[in-house]
Chains A and B, each alone.
Chain A
Amino acid sequence: MKAWLRSDGRKGIRNIVVVAYLVECAHHVAREIAWSLRENDVHTIGFPGCYPNEYAQKMMEQLCTHPNVGAVLLVSLGCENFNKLALSHAVRKSGRPLNTITIQATGGTRASINAGREWVAAQRAALDAAPTVDMDVSELIVGTVCGGSDGTSGITGNPAAGRAFDMLIEQGAACIFEETGELIGCEHIMAARAATPALAVEIEGAVAKAARYYAAMGYGSFSSGNADGGLSTIEEKSMGAYAKSGRSPIVGMIKPGDVPVKGGLYLLDVVPDGDIRFGYPNINDNAEIAELIACGSHVVLFVTGRGSVVGSAISPVIKICANPETYRRMADDMDVDAGRILDGEAGLDDVGTEIRDLVLALGSGARTRSEELGHQEFILTYKSFEPIGPACLPA
């Protein structure tokens, strides 16, 4: 694979210019700046809230210094509470080109858009001329998520993604699976795969926290489309989702924005700690994808049965279609046809190998369907977390 080397030693398989709004009031200006260059790896991310939040601050810092990001433009209204000095300091320290446009100081919408477009175009040109270095599989971080799941997801797409995880981990990569709220019912078999007894206790505790949290919200992480697709309960959905993790030992459990320190399989705990303050943990699939990327994921494997179309800002999303009928309807949106397994035309290892090969191809210039179609979804909302304990990380 070819990649761009960053000052922290991490390597990126994309060289994105990020335009980040720091409150919803600056969103329009940021979007207008990025729009004309959206097909040239200029992506918009941001945080809509005006109240300060440590989680959002950490997410924005990790996203703006993600290895796939080459330059950062911050767009501030001017009176919001987001700590833009801390964010700009983190980006500058990372060695990336940085500019901050404060709309109130720049003279309003039009002047800010013009100044932003000029800066972004100059950065784009500079990044396009930047040299690349070789990148090994052991330097990769890959996340996985499932969305729009149905009864096929747990039989075809998720176990195939799990096989790809096993192959990548064998080659030294770090792989992250997540949504503890969608692992409810699997806590005991999952804890049995923990690398240490202390980590097993942490994993069971994280799922118990998720079960309490969702019980208080009144519903599990379960949509009406899941039921149409043959899933009856959160436990059934969980068992299918769990198959994405493959068969490797679980070496660590991290929280959003924590980057794996070495290769192996990690569980991402996405359910907030403490009292229930900000509503549902992840209000949609892209909230989970953004967290996987904030944990350093270069690529995200997205398994869908009903047929999700989303991609993401910053990191490419590989869409693995579990359901053969959905694939026939939506092939243009899908990178991998895992429904062949249900039709008896391919085995789990065949599709797992195909997914692994596609991950590596993305590091050599290939693009995903959602990238080709211009998808750059992004969402970030309020949460609160305690730091992870020492038992959560591999020795």
Chain B
Amino acid sequence: MDTRLLLLDPRDNVVVVRAHLAAGDAVLIDNSEHVIGAPVAMAHKLARRDIASGEKVLKYGAPIGVATTDIPAGAHVHVHNMRSDYTPSFVLPKEAEAS
């Protein structure tokens, strides 16, 4: 595994980013290379493999929610493509959207 990434549990379908990744950076996940499309901040998640819409997202070996779209391996996994199975996550609008 790429030293910039952390696999917290062998069952997981996401990995955690240990340092900031810039657009264009290449990372190695399970021996396949993926090029990062947009910056990904520290402690965010990347898909370890293709995750189908409706499939559980697994971190710490446990389900942390469900994919709301098909997520390709290497893609940023976050509030834009997954949701809670319990209650919605509140996110403030970004500055551009708020004005």
Contact of A233 among B17, B18, B44, B83 (CB under 8 A): B83
Interface size class of A (residues with CB under 8 A): 20 to 34
Q: Can you list, as one digit per residue, whether each of B9-36 has a CB less than 8 Å from chain A (1) or not (0)?
A: 0000000111000000000000000000
Interchain CA distance A189-B62 in the complex, whole Å: 10
CB < 8 Å neighbour of A235 from B16, B63, B79: B63
B87 within 8 A of A: yes
A212 to nearest B CB, angstroms? 10
Measured between beta carbons, the chain B residues less than 8 angstroms from A235 are 62-65, 84-86
Most chain A CB neighbours (cut-off 10 Å) among B6, B44, B82? B44
For the complex, give the distance between the alpha carbons of A287 and B45 in Å.
Answer: 31
Q: Are B78 and A230 in contact (CB under 8 A)?
A: yes
Q: Which residue of A lies closest to B64 (CB)?
A: A236
The answer, yes or no, to whether A215 is at the interface (CB within 8 Å) is yes
Chief secondary structure at chain B's binding surface: loop
Q: Majority SS of interface residues in chain A?
A: loop
> Is B91 part of the contact surface with A, judged by Cβ < 8 Å?
yes
Most B C-beta atoms less than 10 A away, residue of A151, A239, A323: A151
| Nearest B residue (CB) for A235 | B64
A residues engaging B (CB < 8 A)? 150-152, 154-155, 184-186, 189, 211, 214-215, 218-220, 222-224, 226-230, 232-236, 239-240, 305, 323, 325, 342
Which chain B residues have a beta carbon within 8 Å of chain A's beta carbons?
Answer: 6, 8, 16-18, 41-45, 57, 59-60, 62-65, 77-79, 82-92
A-B residue pairs in contact (CB < 8 Å), sample of 29 = A151-B43, A152-B43, A155-B6, A155-B8, A155-B16, A184-B86, A185-B62, A185-B64, A185-B85, A214-B86, A214-B87, A215-B87, A218-B87, A224-B91, A226-B89, A228-B41, A230-B16, A230-B43, A230-B45, A233-B64, A233-B82, A233-B83, A234-B84, A235-B62, A235-B86, A236-B65, A239-B60, A239-B64, A305-B43
